[in-house]
């Protein structure tokens, strides 16, 4: 009888299996209060026709407070209507009833991992398919090639029955491992995501990424109008450029989508979690009414600190959100402090050192510049010519110039800054990245550890400046100085005067201290004149207090050295001797604890 019952249990309709999976998700992935809230919110929002209750696009958009200016509501509703059909995705788009909304909230908030083992890769594929359309043009091309060669790509035929890993896990979880969809949505090989739709979603994700639990999206409404909306759109364009294969591309393939997400934007969709968790907090929920207890006096509402205490010439809320796509938001939001600004503190390595070296927590360096003209028609002179002469004679193709010749690069450094003598500094968590005009992240490699070097101008060094991904400058004698800088395959250099910079991406060499770009598999080099340079400290009050203490200590030491009397009876002569020894002077900080 046990076998008969088991066999009968497997012969269930899609609708019955969806109800069963939704019930299990509700039981295993939510607390009793959360599922009560979800049911209450759905009941409050749902429209009804005959015996069917469902959510409409405009209802969902109003509840989640999706700004009309972004035009993202249709894209978000398309995603929900697709995922709501889980695990039978061939039934999408589906009507969003209660069971379907359980699927949507479970999958978009990552709660499915409490019962299913599928990881980020499975979720990425599911999100891609939820936005994708059938790429008939690509399919026609493959058919023509097959007919011309007289062969049939059976691998493609097999792939037509492709199921997501999460789908297979869900069916196995229901005990229906033998049940498979005979027909499904087009596979990832035959679908693409329209670029314009994805751009709208990116703009929404830039807004949602800093959301905390129960925070309303409307608190960032000022970012969706006027110049703020233009800035948001410009940032979205830079991110979108990483997903497109060339300027003429209007769609995104799965391979490109997966490569960029996994390397340059692993936290891109994290903002969907707090957004859809709004369905788990009913405004009608009154705990005291259910328990019969005396109403509890609520504590004063905590004042929420701004996401960014101050803006810089480069750093703003949009850049901050962009950074959170590949650096955990817990290290960024309400945690950044401006340590150094070239426009305020001066473009000099001395100012940089005095402002940055005492910070004992991770830092973010951002540099923005204007692309230098290239080609035979451009004749560089003066400082520009001197800088270019320090680069190796083997030049890579220059980056493509377009309407936007503004370049923004950056560095995330988990270790404190220090002077470079024989070895570079930095750890495996060091990140070299580009924000503009193309979003790209170059992660630390294990081939070598030449991550970062900081070398001030002196007679003992060939080339001063900040080098990222390059071999450390070697001590030299004046008459034996190296004529050019040793550039790393993937590297960024800023000259000692903070006037010029160079970014190198030698894809042919397959990387060095940093991995190659997953999106741009070509050789290129960018030369630029520095316009802005900033360093931001990633830390809170404790890190700032520690830095202030070190500054105070150095100030006391400097004052003590200025008062040193060598016993000659002539204070000015004593000071002259100390300056000649290099112990004090206008360019000295007065001492160091290092």
Closest C-alpha to 170, from 214, 116, 126: 116
In a domain, 220, yes or no: yes
Clarify whether residues 235 and 356 are in a common domain. no
- Which of 205-209, 419-423, 585-589 has the least mean pLDDT? 585-589
Q: Is residue 568 part of a domain?
A: yes
Whether 138 has a pLDDT exceeding 70, the answer reads: no
Question: Averaged over 424-430, what is the pLDDT?
Answer: 95
pLDDT confidence band for 175 (50 / 70 / 90) = confident
Statement: residue 145 has pLDDT above 60:
no
Q: Do residue 209 and residue 265 come from a single domain?
A: yes
Least confident of 265-269, 468-472, 536-540, 543-547: 543-547
Please determine, for residue 237, whether its predicted confidence score (pLDDT) is greater than 60.
yes
**Lowest-confidence pick of 146-160, 240-254, 256-270, 418-432:** 146-160
* Geometric angle at alpha carbon 500, from 497 and 505, rounded to 5°: 130
With cut-offs at 50, 70 and 90, classify the pLDDT of residue 482.
low
The stretch 296-314 carries a mean pLDDT of 74
Residue finishing a domain among 248, 279, 310 = 279
Based on the fold, state whether residues 336 and 417 are members of the same structural domain. Answer: yes
* Domain identity same for 428 and 576: no
CB-based contact 344:314 (threshold 8 Å): no
Let me know: does 25 contact 102? Beta carbons within 8 Å.
yes
The pairing of beta strand 465-468 with beta strand 490-495: antiparallel
pLDDT of residue 55 exceeding 80, the answer is yes
Q: How confident is the model at residue 591 (pLDDT cuts 50, 70, 90)?
A: very low
| Number of alpha carbons in the 13 Å side-chain half-sphere of residue 88 | 20
Q: Pick from 343, 522, 336: which is nearest to 438 by CA? A: 522
State yes or no: pLDDT of 582 exceeds 60: no
What average pLDDT does the segment 507-512 reach?
Answer: 85
In the numeric block, which tokens belong to residue 465? 């400046």
Q: Which of 198-207, 426-435, 501-510 has the lowest mean pLDDT?
A: 501-510
Q: Is residue 175 part of a domain?
A: yes
428 and 562 share one domain: no
Residues 125-134 pLDDT 10s: 999 999 999 7
Q: How many percent of the chain have pLDDT more than 90?
A: 59
Average pLDDT over residues 229-246: 95
Q: Report how far residue 77's alpha carbon sits from residue 589's, in angstroms, rounded to the nearest whole number.
A: 59
How far is C-alpha 325 from the geometric centre of its chain's CA atoms? 2
For position 445, what pLDDT does the model report? 94
Q: Is 290 part of a structural domain of the chain?
A: no
pLDDT of residue 142: 38
Please tell me the chain's helix, strand, coil percentages from 3-state DSSP, rounded to the nearest 5: 45, 15, 40
Contact call for residues 487 and 504 (beta carbons, < 8 A): yes
Q: Which of 1-10, 90-99, 181-190, 459-468 has the lowest mean pLDDT?
A: 1-10
- Evaluate if residue 555 carries a pLDDT over 70: no
Q: Residue 574: which pLDDT band, with cuts at 50, 70 and 90? A: low
| Rounded-to-integer distance, Cα 320 and Cα 322, Å | 5
113 and 204 together in one domain:
yes
178: Cα separation from own chain's centroid: 40
Q: Of the residues 248, 263, 279, which one is the last residue of a structural domain? A: 279
**Model pLDDT, residue 525:** 94
Q: Is the pLDDT of residue 592 over 50?
A: no
Q: Which of 217, 246, 279 is the last residue of a domain?
A: 279
Residue predicted with more confidence, 378 or 42: 42
What pairs with residue 340 in β-bridges? 535
Same domain, 517 and 571: no
527 lies in some domain: yes
Q: Is the same domain home to 137 and 40?
A: yes
Looking at the structure, do residues 480 and 334 belong to the same domain, yes or no? yes
Average pLDDT over residues 103-107: 96
Is 458 a residue whose pLDDT tops 50?
yes
Name the nearest CA neighbour of 106 among 92, 126, 128: 126
Q: In this structure, what token pair is assigned to residue 35?
A: 């599922």
Predicted local distance difference test score (pLDDT) of residue 548: 58
Measured over the CA atoms of residue 159, residue 165, residue 166 and residue 171, the dihedral's sign is positive
Q: Residue 113: count other Cβ atoms within 10 Å of its Cβ.
A: 16
**pLDDT value at residue 190:** 79
In a domain, 421, yes or no: yes
Angle between helical axes of 98-108 and 14-29 (0-180°, round to 10): 50
Q: With 90 as the cut, is the pLDDT of residue 101 above it? A: yes
Mean pLDDT of the chain: 83
Q: Are residues 526 and 576 in the same domain?
A: no
What is the band of 580 on the pLDDT scale with cuts at 50, 70, 90?
low
> Is 160 domain-assigned?
yes
pLDDT band at 349; cut points 50, 70, 90 = very high
Asked whether residue 399 falls in the same domain as residue 504, the answer is yes
For residue 336, pLDDT beyond 70? yes
Q: What is the average pLDDT across 128-146?
A: 62
Structure confidence at residue 139 (pLDDT) = 45
pLDDT tier for residue 171 given thresholds of 50, 70 and 90: confident
217 and 360 share one domain: no
Given a cut of 60, whether residue 529 has pLDDT beyond it is yes
Least confident of 106-120, 221-235, 385-399, 403-417: 385-399
Please indicate, yes or no, if residue 547 is contained in any of the structural domains.
no
Range of the domain at 333: 328-374+384-539
Helix (H) or strand (E) holding 64: helix 57-64
> What's the structural domain count of the chain?
3
Residue 263: other Cβ atoms inside 10 A: 19
Sign of CA dihedral 123, 124, 129, 132: positive
Is pLDDT above 80 for 565?
Answer: no
């Amino acid at each position: 009888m046990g076998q008969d019952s088991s066999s009968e249990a497997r012969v269930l309709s899609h609708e019955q299996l969806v109800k069963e999976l939704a019930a299990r998700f509700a039981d295993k992935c939510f607390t009793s209060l959360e599922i009560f809230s979800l049911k209450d919110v759905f009941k409050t929002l749902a429209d009804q026709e005959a015996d069917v209750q469902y959510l409409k696009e405009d209802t969902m958009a109003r509840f989640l407070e999706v700004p009309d200016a972004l035009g993202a509501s249709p894209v978000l509703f398309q995603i929900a209507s697709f995922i709501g059909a889980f695990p039978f995705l061939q039934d999408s788009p589906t009507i969003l009833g209660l069971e379907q909304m359980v699927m949507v909230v479970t999958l978009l908030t990552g709660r499915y991992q409490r019962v299913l083992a599928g990881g980020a890769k499975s979720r990425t594929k599911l999100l891609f398919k939820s936005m994708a359309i059938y790429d008939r043009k690509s399919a026609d091309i493959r058919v023509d090639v097959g007919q011309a060669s007289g062969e049939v790509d059976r691998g493609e035929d097999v792939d037509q029955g492709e199921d997501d890993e999460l789908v297979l896990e869900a069916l196995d979880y229901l005990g229906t491992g033998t049940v498979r969809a005979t027909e499904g949505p087009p596979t990832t090989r035959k679908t693409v995501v329209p670029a314009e739709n994805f751009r709208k979603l990116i703009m929404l994700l830039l807004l949602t990424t800093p959301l905390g639990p129960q925070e309303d999206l409307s608190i960032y409404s000022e970012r969706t109008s006027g110049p703020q909306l233009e800035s948001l759109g410009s940032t979205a364009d830079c991110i979108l450029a990483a997903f497109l294969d060339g300027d003429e591309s209007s769609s995104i393939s799965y391979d490109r989508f997966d490569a960029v997400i996994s390397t340059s934007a692993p936290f891109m969709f994290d903002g969907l979690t707090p957004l859809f968790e709004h369905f788990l907090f009913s405004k009608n929920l009154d705990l005291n009414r259910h328990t019969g207890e005396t109403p509890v006096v609520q504590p004063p509402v905590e004042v929420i600190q701004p996401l960014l205490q101050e803006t810089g010439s480069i750093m703003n809320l949009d850049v901050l959100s962009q950074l959170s796509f590949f650096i955990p938001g817990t290290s960024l939001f309400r945690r950044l402090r401006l340590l150094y600004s070239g426009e305020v503190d001066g473009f000099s390595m001395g100012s940089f050192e005095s402002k940055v070296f005492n910070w004992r927590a991770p830092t973010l360096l951002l540099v923005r510049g204007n692309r230098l003209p290239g080609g035979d028609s451009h004749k560089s002179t003066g400082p520009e010519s001197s800088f270019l002469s320090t680069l190796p004679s083997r030049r890579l193709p220059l980056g493509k110039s377009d309407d936007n010749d503004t370049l923004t690069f950056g560095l995330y450094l988990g270790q404190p800054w220090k002077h470079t003598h024989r070895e570079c500094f930095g750890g495996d968590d060091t990140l070299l990245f580009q924000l503009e005009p193309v979003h790209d992240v170059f992660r630390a490699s294990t081939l070598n550890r030449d991550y970062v070097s900081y070398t001030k101008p002196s007679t003992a060094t060939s080339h001063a400046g900040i080098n990222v991904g390059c071999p450390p400058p070697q001590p030299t004698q004046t008459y034996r100085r190296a004529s050019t800088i040793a550039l790393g395959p993937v590297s960024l250099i800023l000259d000692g005067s903070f006037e010029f910079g160079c970014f190198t991406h030698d894809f042919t060499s397959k990387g060095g201290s940093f991995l190659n770009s997953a999106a741009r598999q070509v050789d290129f080099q960018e030369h630029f004149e520095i316009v802005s340079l900033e360093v931001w400290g990633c830390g809170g009050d404790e890190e700032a207090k520690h830095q202030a203490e070190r500054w105070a200590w150095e100030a006391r030491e400097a004052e003590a050295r200025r008062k040193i009397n060598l016993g000659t009876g002539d204070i000015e002569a004593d000071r002259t001797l100390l300056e000649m020894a290099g112990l004090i002077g206008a360019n000295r900080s007065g001492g160091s604890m290092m």
